[in-house]
Chains A and B, each alone.
Chain A
Amino acid sequence: MLGSRMNWQRWTMMLPAILFFAVFALLPMIVAVYYSGLNWDGVSKATWVGLYNWTHAFVSGQAVHSLLLTLELMALCWILQNPISLVLGVFIAGKQRHRVVYGVIYFVPLLFSAVAIGITWSYILDPEFGLIDSLLQAVGIGNGTENWLGNPSLAMFVVACIIAWQFIPFNSLLYQSGAKQIPASLYEAAMLDGAGPLRSFFHVTLPQLKYTIITTTVLILTGTLTYFDLIYVVTNGGPGDSTEVLAMDMYKEAFTNLNIGAGSVIAVILAAAGLLLSILILKFTGFNRMESQMEGL
């Protein structure tokens, strides 16, 4: 009789997933800690240097710089994406036909890879032949030669805008499904109490979307922590090091400078940050509780 007891068949069912995850995800995380104590180019013989890479990363200020840039990008992404996504999500949750059609079109940027989006936007923002500068020139705003991605004080903001362009549709999809689940009776009650559309937005819609706001926040933060592909294509960390976020810094140290130790220091910082966020997700959402979360999917 098959009850809740384990048997050999069940162990074999668990094996492939555990094996893959342990060998190619979990173990590498642990090995990265060991690598962070090595002076190694990945080919010749490695020497153990203890905490040298760690102290060097912090004394030189490079790790702190990348960490701050990553936090800056997280903040920018949240501010740019969340409010707009919320309003758009509530908008496309409506039943009118044009809202549904809009929602279908909003989704299209999500079909492209980050590198494809990055390449496209670097042409759109090109100071010589780009769409934006040509348009600005045509309508007579400025001289139409702004080098958006070549300006160290603008580059990070522009990168965050491109990320927002791709991911606002995704977040608004989440808000759409959240808003659709708000019972109509709540709005009627608010209406009977004499609340106008704005008041019912702030007193019904917003509180009801509380958990969606937490979800999108978590997704934006974890997504931004690892953001790499688009930055690699659009600025490659530049100009100077003005967009060199943690993931970019790690890649350059390990695979361009062939300094496995220094790259691993950044990798460990990334893993620690990811772990912290994971724990926060579990705390906030209770995903691992044994009750059903997916009714009505």
Chain B
Amino acid sequence: MSTPIDNVRYAKVRPRRKVTVHGGLFTAFGTIWLIIAGYPLLYMLMTSFRTQNGYLSGKPWLPPTNPTLSNYTQVLQAGFFHYFLNSAVVSIASVVLIVTFSLLLAYVIVRSKSRTVRTVFNVFLVGLALPIQAAIIPVYILINKLGLYDTLIGMILPMVAFGLPLSLLILVNFVRDIPNELYESVALEGATDYQIVRYLVAPLSLPALVAVGIYEFIQSWNNFLFPLVLTQSRSVQVLPLAIVQFQGQHSIDVPVTMAVVIFSALPLILAYIFAGKYLRQGMLAGFGK
């Protein structure tokens, strides 16, 4: 939190700073990491444009000599657009449910002093670090009993449950900052609780809702354990599982597999190019402070 006085001081001191050895060391370190982080990504991209022969005979660290798009057409022919749609349905449904449910609960937690409500909040907080892996066996049995094994809904239900604690925590912290006077003024006009959430709380918490939504979208888009345990047919396969199965069948054909890997992250890559700032904020949601 810089006060105006800080800024003035900062402005005065700053021009005196020169490029120091210290800064140079930092840049060197940062550049080394840039290579470590970036080169494998470049390898991914280069390999996805290689031909199978090019991969086996060429030098893997150089760009392909005869770049080709055939790997990507092969990916689409293998039905990956369908898996892509499955992933989209599962992730969007999960995000909408998680955000709606946790916003409603967050509102009640902030607005009421009931002890039951406090206890509910504490139970959710303890649930924060409970691992999915610890519950997956009973979840598998339960989903089977409900007749939801091998369906998209069967994956969505537990994903929502495990997404709730963190988004609840973030939203409670945000809704708490809405000034009391605002509630009072809309209450005077006779608004019900649902109307208050819809017309006051939701618009005011939009930044937090976006952050939570992005975070939960990335989580469900990349979730692997639920589809692995709860589905088996191709018709309901989501991308992470589809990649692993595809790789199992084409383990020698590395370029095609790299194309699959890039294809599976495409929406997130595009989102990052166009709205990178929001994605970074979303990933930090709740941990930033």
Interface set of A (CB-CB < 8 Å, partner B): 1-2, 4-7, 9-10, 13-14, 16-18, 20-21, 23-29, 31-32, 35, 42, 84, 87-88, 90-92, 94, 98-99, 102, 104-116, 119-121, 123-124, 129-131, 134-135, 138, 165, 168-170, 173-174, 177, 181, 183-185, 188, 191, 196-198, 215, 219, 222, 225-226, 228-229, 232-233, 246-247, 250-251, 254-255, 260, 263-264, 267-268, 270-271, 274-275, 277-279, 281-282, 287-288, 290, 292-297
> 1/0 per position for B36-74, CB-CB distance to A under 8 A?
111011011001000000011001110000000000000
Q: Indicate which residue in A18, A111, A296 contacts B265 across the interface (CB closer than 8 Å).
A: A111
Going nearest first, the 3 A-B pairs with the smallest beta carbon separation are A24-B161, A113-B222, A28-B138
The answer to whether B197 and A13 touch across the interface, beta carbons within 8 angstroms, is yes
A270 with B121: CB separation less than 8 A: no
B positions within 8 Å CB-CB of A: 1-2, 6, 9-10, 13, 20, 22-23, 26-27, 29-31, 33-34, 36-38, 40-41, 43-44, 47, 55-56, 59-61, 97, 100-102, 104-105, 107-108, 111-114, 116-117, 120-142, 157-158, 160-162, 164-165, 168-170, 173-174, 176-177, 183, 187, 191-194, 196-197, 207-208, 211, 218, 221-222, 224-225, 228-229, 239-240, 243-244, 247, 254, 257-258, 261, 264-265, 268-269, 272, 276, 279-280, 283-284, 287-289
Other-chain residue from B38, B104, B265, B289 in contact with A112 (beta carbon distance below 8 A): B265
Q: Is there contact, CB below 8 Å, between A134 and B59?
A: yes
A114-B224, A184-B9, A260-B137 known; A17-B105 Cβ under 8 A: yes
Given contacts A17-B164, A84-B33, A91-B29, contact A250 B177 (CB under 8 A): no
In contact, B254 and A129 (Cβ under 8 angstroms): yes
Q: Are A106 and B34 in contact (CB under 8 A)?
A: yes
Whether B196 lies near A271 (C-beta < 8 A) is no
Known contacts A91-B26, A297-B289; 7 additional CB pairs below 8 A are A6-B114, A20-B160, A111-B272, A120-B261, A121-B40, A174-B287, A297-B207
Q: Which residue of B lies closest to A7 (CB)?
A: B193
- B103 CB, nearest partner CB in chain A, Å: 9
Please state if A116 and B265 are interface contacts (CB–CB under 8 Å). yes
Contacts of B135 in A (CB 8 A): 24-25, 28-29, 32, 267, 271
A3 → chain B, closest Cβ, in Å? 8
- Interface pair B137/A32, CB less than 8 Å apart: yes
Cβ of A255 and Cβ of B229 under 8 Å apart?
yes
* A261: nearest chain-B partner, CB-CB: B137
Judge whether B1 and A181 touch: CB under 8 Å.
Answer: yes
A105/B34 in contact, CB under 8 A: yes
Report the Cα distance A215→B135, complex, angstroms.
25
B165 close to A250 (CB less than 8 A)? no
A292 near B177 with CB under 8 A, answer: yes
Q: A123-B258, A267-B133 are in contact. Are A28 and B162 (CB under 8 A)?
A: no
Is the beta-carbon distance between B243 and A271 smaller than 8 angstroms? no
Which of these, B113, B126, B218, B243, contacts A115 with CB under 8 Å? B243
Task: Tell me which of B134, B264, B287 contacts A271 (CB under 8 A).
Answer: B134
Cβ of B13 to closest chain A Cβ, rounded Å: 6
- Asked, given contacts A107-B276, A134-B60, whether A14 binds B131 with beta carbons under 8 Å apart, the answer is no
Neighbouring A residues of B161 by C-beta, 8 Å: 20-21, 23-25
Chain B residues near A246: list those with CB within 8 A.
Answer: 133
Closest CB-CB distance, A247 to chain B, in whole Å? 4
In the complex, chain B residues whose CB is within 8 Å of the CB of A92: 30
- Once the chains bind, are A123 and B272 in contact (CB under 8 Å)? no
- Which residues from chain A contact B193 at a C-beta distance below 8 Å? 2, 7, 9-10, 13
The answer to whether A113 touches B41 (Cβ under 8 A) is: no
Q: Let me know if B229 and A134 touch, CB within 8 A.
A: no
Docked pose: A107 CA to B161 CA in angstroms:
28
Choose among B38, B138, B158, B174 the residue that contacts A35 (Cβ–Cβ < 8 A).
B138
Determine if A254 and B137 form an interchain contact, defined as CB atoms under 8 angstroms apart. Answer: yes
- Min CB distance A223 to B, Å, is 10
The answer to whether A13 and B108 have CB atoms under 8 Å apart is: yes
A28 adjacent to B139 (CB under 8 Å): yes
Give complex CA distance A185, B24 in Å: 23
Which listed residue, A18, A174, A188, A294, touches B173 by the CB 8 Å rule?
A294
Q: Could you show 7 A-B contacts with beta carbons less than 8 Å apart? A: A10-B108, A24-B161, A113-B224, A114-B224, A225-B129, A229-B240, A274-B129
Output the least CB separation between A5 and chain B (Å): 7
Query: With A and B bound together, what is the CA distance between A254 and B141 in angstroms?
Result: 11
Across the interface, name the chain A residue whose C-beta is closest to B36: A165
| Residues on the B chain within 8 Å of A107, using CB | 272, 276, 279-280, 283
Task: Tell me, rounded to whole Å, the shortest Cβ–Cβ distance linking B251 to chain A.
Answer: 9
B134 and A267 within 8 A (CB): yes
